[in-house]
Every structure is written in C-alpha cells, then in structure tokens.
Amino acid sequence: MWCFLVLDVFHPTTTDSSVAVLRGADAAKKKVGFYELKNKKGDFLHQDNELGSCPRVSVIVPDSKGGNRGFHKVIWTVKEHVPGGDSPYVTLYYHSFNGEQGFPGDLDVYVTYQLWSPYDLRVRMNATALNRATPVNLASHAYWNLAGAGSGDVLRHVIQLFASRYTPVNQSTMIPTGEIAPVSGTPYDLRSPTPLGSRIKLVSGAGMAGFDINYAVDGAGKGFRRVALVRDPASGRKMEVWADQPGVQLYTSNWLNNEKGKGGKVYVQYGALCLETQGYPDAVNHPNFPSVILRLGQVYKHNMLVKLSSY
C-alpha cells in the first residue's frame, strides 16, 4: 500500500484565471477550480457581506506547484514532535499575515499528523482568525493505492461513499454551479460498494477524465462520522475515512501519466484515489453552501481519521 500525502490549504488561495487546486503528482497536467471570483478585479463577497479582494492563487503543502507564494512556499514551524510512544505525532504551525496574497486578516494555522495506532492516521487542522473574517478551507490530499506502490491503477478498488448528494460542476471550469443535487440516477451514485472502473468512463468527457467531484456527506452538522469505505479485492486491504466536514472530494488521479516516484516506481493514470474531506468548493459564491468564512475570534476545526485494516 502507498500513500502520497499533501495538504491543500485554501487561505490564501492563485494567480490563474480561476482559483485552481493543483493535484499533487499530476498537478502540471490538470487544474481544478476552487473559487470563481465575482468580477475582473478578483473581489469576492463574503457570506457575511464583508467584501475582500484576493489574487487567485493555488496553495498546496508541501507540493512544488501552486501560486507565487502559497502556503507550499512558506516556512512552517514544527511546534511539537513526538517521534516515539504509542501515538507519535508532529504539529506544524504557520501564521498567515493580514493581506497575504490579498486575503483579509491574520490567521494562525496548525496541522497535526498522528499515528493513533499502527494502522490509524489522525489529521487535526485548526485555524484562528485573529482580527478579520476570511475564507478558510483546509483539506488533506493523500493519494491512496491499497494494492501498493507501482501496482497499477485503482480501478478494481471498490468504493462506498456515505453521500446522497453532490455538487455538480461547470465542466469547462470545474467549478460548482451552486446546485446540490441527488446522486440517485447518476454515475456519481456510490452509496453502494462500487468498483471504480465500472464508472470511470461514465463520468469522463467534456474536459473530465474521471472522478473529480465534491460530495455532500450525509449527516452534515452531526459531527464526526464515516465518509467513505474503500476495499482492494486483490490485497484484501480496507480503508475507512471519517471526518467532521460537510463535503468530500473524490479524485482518481486522472492526469497521472507514468510519473516516476520514490524507489523508481511508476504511477499510471488512475494510479491512486484521493478522498479530501472539506468544505464545499466555491462556497463563498453560493449562499446555499455551508459557509467557509471564519469570523473574528472563531477557531476553524477539521478532524479526519483514516483507518486501515484487512477484510
């Protein structure tokens, strides 16, 4: 089994024609919309009616792609590091200053990665708006292949998402339309265990090459809950994803193209899947989406658990 771990941090967010999330190893091949700004000046209207202005910047930690000074290009401070014991962890800290990349307010950000057991990975993210409201949406962008590094694609992986709705996108921009639609009757219906390969062609075309869509996780507002279940029949490995966020982005490494990675292993198209628990993309422009505005004095919290086992 292999995992390539990236943290997407959407404050600030890129200099492209729309805010783009660049996807790890295949970032150079594909750009995926996150915010579509309201006018040519790059202004966005907060959901609390506070107006802010931001250049459109892609920010990823720690990948090499992104904006001119996204979070991937700043120095994070190791606040705590416990390498031993039953649950080793590391906590990283970054202070984003008022006006950085055009975003309003000072922001303190912490991310903790912890091995809760040999097979459980906990990710805890929090951020505090110190003096102004600002959009915040943090997402762990791990690439998973339960069969192991260099084992080919994940199309035989069987996935189940606990999500009855999704947010359709404009396929030319990959930005949500604002609709929260039922998955029933669509190729995006993964409520029952489904091999990814049985749907990959059905969700491809018109600029899409596979899954790259945000799902509205059932039970929003009810705290920590199961988001997804993934099984690999060949290896007998199983992965559960739990989180407390309203959405999850399913991405199937659509633009990987024989990329050589660690140990000389080659990663092919559909060589991994990502399950990014998050707020809804482009929420600042859709009042019907759960708000991603962090107001003065509030603390943003995002808790995620990945449980690995056999079946």
List, as one string, the DSSP characters of 268-288. -TT--BEEEEESPTTGGG-TT
pLDDT at residue 16 is higher than 90 = no
Q: Residue 179 catalytic?
A: no
Q: How far apart are CA 199 and CA 15, in angstroms?
A: 33
Q: How big, in percent rounded to 5, are the helix, strand and coil portions of the chain?
A: 5, 40, 50
In angstroms, the Cα distances linking 167 to 103, 133, 192, 255 are: 25, 25, 19, 21
* Nearest-angstrom CA–CA distance, 118 and 285: 41
Place of tokens 């966005």: 44
Which is the catalytic residue, given 141, 157, 286, 302? 141
Comparing CA positions, the residue from 170, 165, 180 lying closest to residue 207 is 170
Q: Are 203 and 210 in contact (CB under 8 A)?
A: yes
Tokens of 89: 């962890």
DSSP symbols for 167-181? E-EETTTTEE-S--E
Reduce the DSSP state of residue 120 to 3 states and report it.
strand
Q: Determine the length of the chain.
A: 311
- Evaluated on CA atoms 174, 178, 180, 186, the torsion sign reads negative
If you average pLDDT over residues 17-21, what whole number do you get?
26
Q: What is the pLDDT of residue 1?
A: 54
Which residues on neighbouring strands pair with residue 33, listed in sequence order?
Answer: 20
Which residues touch 276 (CB under 8 Å, ≥6 apart)?
Answer: 8, 139, 140, 141, 248, 249, 251
Q: Give the chain's mean pLDDT.
A: 80
What was the pLDDT predicted at 129? 94
Sheet order of strands, 7-9 included:
60-61, 7-9, 138-140
Instruction: Report residue 200's pLDDT band, with 50, 70 and 90 as the boundaries.
Output: very high
Per-residue model confidence (pLDDT) at position 172: 81
The tokens for 38 are 């309201």
Selected residue with higher pLDDT from 173 and 25: 173
How far is 32 from 40, CA to CA, in rounded Å?
19
* Catalytic residue (one of 72, 276, 286, 302): 276
Distance, in Å, from the CA atom of 211 to the CA atom of 201, rounded to the nearest integer, reads 9
Beta strands in 34-74 (DSSP E): 43-45, 51-53, 60-61
With cut-offs at 50, 70 and 90, classify the pLDDT of residue 68.
low
Q: Report whether pLDDT(234) > 90.
A: yes
Q: Is 276 annotated in the active site? A: yes
pLDDT per residue as tens digits for the range 127-158: 999 999 988 888 888 889 999 988 999 999 99
**What are 34's two structure tokens?**
């996150």
